[in-house]
Structure 1
Amino acid sequence: MAHSDLVITPVTSKADKKAFVDLPWRLYANDPNWVPPLKSEVYGVIEPAKNPFFGHAEAQYFLARRDNRVVGRISAHIDHLALAQPVEQGMGPGTGNFGFFEAEDAQSGKALIEAAEDWLRAKGMTRVLGPISLSIWEEPGLLIQGHDHPPTVMMGHNSPAYQAMIEGAGYQPIKQLKTYELDITHPFPPLIQRIVSSGEKSDRIRIRPVDKSKFDAEAAILLGILNDAWGKNWGFVPITDAEVAHTGKKLKPIVFEDLIMIAELDGEPVAFMMTLPDLNEATAPLNGSLLPFGWAKLLWWLRKPQVRTMRVPLMGVVQRLQSSRLASQLAFMMIEYIRRNAITRYGATRGEIGWVLDDNQGMNAIADAIDSKVNKVYQIYEKDLVTP
């Protein structure tokens, strides 16, 4: 595909893959809020041999070049587990995705989106959701609010120009994902404190930290709660055992027992909250590489992280308790226990919760109750693929 001097080609060689990974370093060179990812992590996501997502998915990557200079990139991909989900939950039959979208200008952006759509159409897809890079569990959505401060660990950042490019290509907003920030140095409002105190007096409730010495068993408990708790959420795609093992191995260095809580009711695990120290604070100065001394600096930091921000990427309560007072009570108790640990043991002053679906009334209500404010909004778009 060509637009005047613009050429769109599929990524086929090792050099193409390197250009695909390296492009953001040039595009965001003057953006103080972009956090360079570790390149090894990016390769680990896009290479099928390294990412168990490809056990149920397929993808094609594209580059845009002008005068032999790379000016954009995009992925087109199909998650076959997503195709099996109910249509009313956002995914479903015929739904493909695009992601990893970067473009130097509107012309290259338009051409890249067309290339992704052509690939998806040729695969029999009739609808596109995006941007999602690559799994719904990784970096979903386009940042449309909150470009003025850096993302936390495992959150995306993109140029504000991309919103006009995607909407100009005929995409309509379908779902917003929000992150909330809060000052954790202050106690929560008196009502929340009373709810926590009441829970502490109940002999039915136990809030415990995870046990890293039983990592696999604890991960299985979290997965069971997560797949149950999120099973009816918009965009849900079940996580496979291989993906859990892969993610667990990747996150293990930043998993700290006192930052991940499991709530038990009458001895049964029914809720959990995962909190991660903001690894971006440590990796931002490394400029994407652990060499020559970045690995040593990172290992030293991981021994006892001292961070400004803690991020809550995952939280869940089993469906049978959702919308009950007990669900809120368990959530507030886990948040409070982790808040105390984050301050006293890690020096944290700020928390970030997200992402949270815009229609997740329970989580949005909890965020409001602890005086947190929306600090970033990510937009997912959809478009019907019609035969040209």
Structure 2
Amino acid sequence: MPHAVTIRPVVTRKDRKAFLDVPFDIYRNDPNWVAPLYVERFEHLNPKKNPYFQHADAQLVLAEQNGKPVGRISAQIDRLRLERYNDATGQFGFLEAPDDPAVFQGLFDAASRWLRERGMARVQGPFNFSINDELGLLIDGFDTPPNMMMAHAMPYYRRRVEELGFAKAKDMIAYDYDATVELPRSMRSIYERAVASSEITIRPFDKKHLARDLAIVMSIFNDAWSENWGFMPFTREEIEALGNNLKKLVASEYIAIADWRGEPAAMAVSLPDLNGWIAGLNGRLLPFGWAKLAWRFLARPPASVRLPLMGVRKVYHNTITGSALALSVIDTVRRYHLSRGTKRAELSWILEDNMPMRRIIEAIGGKPYKTYRIYEKTLP
């Protein structure tokens, strides 16, 4: 007989620890799940540490059976998102639960009630917490581990979510890219001619001028992505946090900036797949995790990298110049990582209907290998 489900809010630090522990049971037999680092996840959930909470409110929720936490969810309202879209839409995230419809029902009932009480008429998700964080429910591609800042899920999640009346809002595609394969000559020539004529100049991110180059990257991002579904610009505080992380995490060559006739026009940001380094640490850096992580970081390049940000200013969209700019930054980053021994990359995420970008990625050899879905539902 199924055990009764108790739903309760996360209140204390001990509760937050229980919230973070839930997926360890869900995925204990899944070789492709990678335990996140506790220290990083605690900061992400902490309103005093995560700048998201300067413009948003959230409630974390636990589901328990026999006094043991077995499931979790978040409900959140982003005030800046509401100002931008004026659609009375809240969000859910951090969904983890066993294959038990009562647990799913209890979690979503609690999240929906919290959102309704605050005036929301619709819910979308999953977002952990925002569209600029980990997002989407994995609906295919369960047979490989997730890349950095990408989600994993059990195959039954999709069925349980849809049974509760959620429908597809949008799909995001993750592409696997073999960095050892040169760009087709016809495509490489598109940007090489522009580089040879000095119309395009490409350079790495300059950490000595961190604020300047970070502003350039985010300016291009905010312009290039501004008409994308669900787009939200980074706030100043979020940009500062991103800059601090990039400064610690990546070499300057991980980021390429392309100028068109002297003006910044395109960028690509790559990140090492930290999941490949933290696998096996079980989320902990103590007592020996720090040493293992440092050794892995220093001893070998990442097996894979991820390109989470790539953009070309809107004025160049759907033009040969735009294609040349996009190819120039992607190929510059590709050649750098290949020179260090990294042979694979994930290009993600790409909106399913962003056909200009999908055509470029597929033309250079990218293959779709994971799909992440955002769901939505009108709140009763």
TM over 0.5: yes
Bin the TM-score by the shorter chain: over 0.9
Does 2:10 correspond to 1:15? no
Among 262, 270, 285, the residue aligned to 2:265: 270
CA shift for structure 1 position 4: 7.0
**After TM superposition, what 4+ stretches of structure 1 lie above 4 angstroms from structure 2?**
none
1:102-139 Cα shifts (integer Å, max 9, x gaps): 11122101110111000000000000011111011001
Q: Write the distance in 2 (CA, Å) between the matches of 1:299 and 1:247.
A: 21
Question: Which AA in structure 2 matches 1:332?
Answer: L
Partners of 1:199 and 1:333 within 8 A in 2: no
Among 318, 323, 332, the residue aligned to 2:327: 332
Among 343, 352, 363, the residue aligned to 2:357: 363
Q: Write the distance in 2 (CA, Å) between the matches of 1:267 and 1:198.
A: 16
Q: Write the distance in 2 (CA, Å) between the matches of 1:226 and 1:337.
A: 18
CA shift for structure 1 position 361: 1.8
Aligned to 2:26: 27
Partners of 2:265 and 2:325 within 8 A in 1: no
Aligned to 1:89: none
TM-score by length of 2: 0.96
Q: Write the distance in 1 (CA, Å) between the matches of 2:103 and 2:329.
A: 46
Q: Write the distance in 2 (CA, Å) between the matches of 1:305 and 1:55.
A: 38
Partners of 1:273 and 1:316 within 8 A in 2: yes
Other structure's SS at 2:258 match: strand
Partners of 1:76 and 1:120 within 8 A in 2: yes
Does 2:73 correspond to 1:74? yes
Aligned to 1:352: 346
Aligned to 1:47: 46
Aligned to 1:256: 251
Aligned to 2:368: 374
Does 2:292 correspond to 1:293? no
Among 222, 227, 231, the residue aligned to 1:227: 222
Partners of 1:176 and 1:377 within 8 A in 2: yes
Partners of 2:7 and 2:110 within 8 A in 1: yes
Alignment of 1:88-127 (within 5 A): 92-104=86-98, 105-127=100-122
CA shift for structure 1 position 268: 0.9
Percent identity between the two aligned chains? 44
CA shift for structure 1 position 276: 1.3
CA shift for structure 1 position 93: 2.7
Partners of 2:3 and 2:65 within 8 A in 1: no
CA shift for structure 1 position 272: 0.3
The 3 A distance-change label for structure 1 pair 200 and 350 is: same
Q: Write the distance in 1 (CA, Å) between the matches of 2:168 and 2:251.
A: 37
CA shift for structure 1 position 333: 1.3
Does 2:222 correspond to 1:236? no
Alignment of 1:284-323 (within 5 A): 284-303=279-298, 305-323=300-318
Q: Write the distance in 2 (CA, Å) between the matches of 1:133 and 1:204.
A: 40
Partners of 1:199 and 1:330 within 8 A in 2: no
Partners of 2:123 and 2:376 within 8 A in 1: yes
Other structure's SS at 1:85 match: helix
Q: Write the distance in 2 (CA, Å) between the matches of 1:333 and 1:220.
A: 20
Does 2:168 correspond to 1:169? no
Partners of 1:59 and 1:77 within 8 A in 2: yes
Structure 1: give runs of 5+ residues left out of the alignment.
87-91
168-177 vs 193-202, greater mean Cα deviation: 193-202
Does 2:337 correspond to 1:342? yes
CA shift for structure 1 position 304: 6.6
Partners of 1:254 and 1:302 within 8 A in 2: no
Partners of 1:277 and 1:305 within 8 A in 2: no
Partners of 1:253 and 1:302 within 8 A in 2: no
Does 2:242 correspond to 1:247? yes
1:235-287 Cα shifts (integer Å, max 9, x gaps): 01121010111122233322211121001012111110001121111111211
CA shift for structure 1 position 299: 3.0
Aligned to 1:215: 210
CA shift for structure 1 position 305: 4.6
Give the length in aligned residue pairs: 378
Instruction: Provide the aligned C-alpha RMSD in A.
Output: 1.4
CA shift for structure 1 position 303: 4.2
TM-score by length of 1: 0.94
Partners of 2:3 and 2:66 within 8 A in 1: no
Other structure's SS at 1:286 match: coil
Q: Write the distance in 1 (CA, Å) between the matches of 2:246 and 2:75.
A: 26
Q: Write the distance in 2 (CA, Å) between the matches of 1:252 and 1:161.
A: 39
Question: Which AA in structure 2 matches 1:113?
Answer: F
Q: Write the distance in 1 (CA, Å) between the matches of 2:300 and 2:351.
A: 29
Q: Write the distance in 1 (CA, Å) between the matches of 2:303 and 2:70.
A: 35
Partners of 1:274 and 1:314 within 8 A in 2: yes
Structure 2: give runs of 5+ residues left out of the alignment.
none
The 3 A distance-change label for structure 1 pair 4 and 297 is: closer
Other structure's SS at 1:316 match: strand
The 3 A distance-change label for structure 1 pair 131 and 251 is: same
CA shift for structure 1 position 197: 2.2
Q: Write the distance in 2 (CA, Å) between the matches of 1:156 and 1:178.
A: 12
Question: Which AA in structure 1 matches 2:364?
Answer: I
